[in-house]
Structure 1
Amino acid sequence: MSSQKPVTQEFGTVEENAVRLDQDKAEQLVDALNTDLAATEVLYHQLRKHHWTVNGAQYRDLHLFYEEAYEDASEAADHLGERVQALGGVPINRPADFQDRSPVEPEQEDILEVRTMMKNDEEMYGDIIERVREHVELAENLGDYATSELLREQLEELEEYAHEIEHFLAEDSLTKW
């Protein structure tokens, strides 16, 4: 509980919402979306790290790829947080809580070999994709088609980035080692 007053709504609570989704359903979706938000924030920070530290023969392509990827992750996080609010919840918002709540683990702080970084990103994207698919189904089953659509759009973007990373990691390359 916050010691800062006045608190208008405590984290973890779900109030009535203007989209008229039953509170029980909204609570389930707020919980799922906050998990997705936490995972997206962890992904964002890992992508930023890779943007800053990538090097090698494909530096420029990867540097630009990571910049686009982390910007898209930031936008996705914004949409998730706003949807949590629309459903009557409070979006997860403290940096320490992102990592605690996230179903994905950030890699170590060290600068890693580029292929290792990308394999870690591919794994993180895959884990998030699986979770988001589950949450699309949850939203559909609860009759929240707007949340389902939001998550479907994010799922498509996540899959595109995972596929792009798969191409970067391909064994066949024009770059000589």
Structure 2
Amino acid sequence: MSKIDIGINETDRYAIAEGLKRLLADSYTLYLQTHNFHWNVTGPQFRELHLMFEEHYTELAIAVDDVAERIRTLDVAAPGTYKAFAELSSIREVDGVPSATEMVTLLTQGHEAVVKTCRDALKLAQNANDESTSALVSDRMRVHEKTAWMLRATQAPKGN
């Protein structure tokens, strides 16, 4: 393969790729958690949550591919093992099968964590004038903010 020359210096490309690796790890971990909850949710909201979780993990599956391909576009190897994702992700695995209410809470927290990871990756991309990564990460951030809002909206109101 020929040397990469896309107007982003090597130091910045590696820094951006590191931020994207964390985003990939968070996204994949959240994908797996969401799929797990889709399979195992029970209770009065079963159908609603089962279908919503399916929508979420399907969207995340596409996102994971987009983020990994952007890392490769920057000429850096994308992580692809559970071990690497566990080391890079800010989202921790859940033991056992939580209640449906706890699933919603955990997924809300997961999406909020991804938003924070996006913010860090976005700063790196913006500082290097990497519009392609900035656009990708900004789009991801918007999806996760909206998804967290939708999950919060399924819970009982707190007097608002």
* 1:81 and 2:68 are equivalent in the alignment: yes
The match for 1:67 is 54
Q: Identity across aligned pairs (percent)?
A: 23
In structure 1, C-alpha distance between the alignment counterparts of 2:3 and 2:121, rounded to whole Å: 21
Q: Secondary structure at the match of 2:78?
A: coil
Q: Is the 8 A contact 1:29 1:139 kept in 2?
A: yes
Q: What letter matches 2:141 in structure 1?
A: L
In the TM superposition, what is the alpha-carbon distance from 1:19 to its structure 2 partner? 2.6
Q: Secondary structure at the match of 1:106?
A: coil
In structure 2, C-alpha distance between the alignment counterparts of 1:45 and 1:17, rounded to whole Å: 33
Q: What letter matches 1:107 in structure 2?
A: V
In structure 1, C-alpha distance between the alignment counterparts of 2:27 and 2:73, rounded to whole Å: 19
* 1:50 and 2:32 are equivalent in the alignment: no
The match for 1:35 is 22
- 2:132 pairs, out of 143, 146, 150, with 146
Which TM-score applies when normalising by structure 1? 0.84
- 1:112 pairs, out of 81, 84, 98, with 98
In structure 2, C-alpha distance between the alignment counterparts of 1:170 and 1:151, rounded to whole Å: 31
Q: Which has the higher helix share?
A: 2
List alignment gaps of at least 5 residues for structure 2: none
Task: Please identify runs of 4+ aligned residues in structure 1 that moved more than 4 A.
Answer: none
List alignment gaps of at least 5 residues for structure 1: 1-7, 9-14, 173-177
The match for 2:9 is 22
> Aligned pairs, how many?
158
20 and 52 in structure 1: CA distance in 2 versus 1, 3 angstrom threshold: same
In structure 1, C-alpha distance between the alignment counterparts of 2:104 and 2:156, rounded to whole Å: 11
The match for 1:161 is 147
Q: Is the 8 A contact 2:40 2:97 kept in 1?
A: yes
Q: Is the 8 A contact 2:19 2:120 kept in 1?
A: no
Pairwise CA RMSD of aligned residues?
1.6
Q: Is the 8 A contact 2:20 2:71 kept in 1?
A: yes
Q: What letter matches 1:145 in structure 2?
A: E
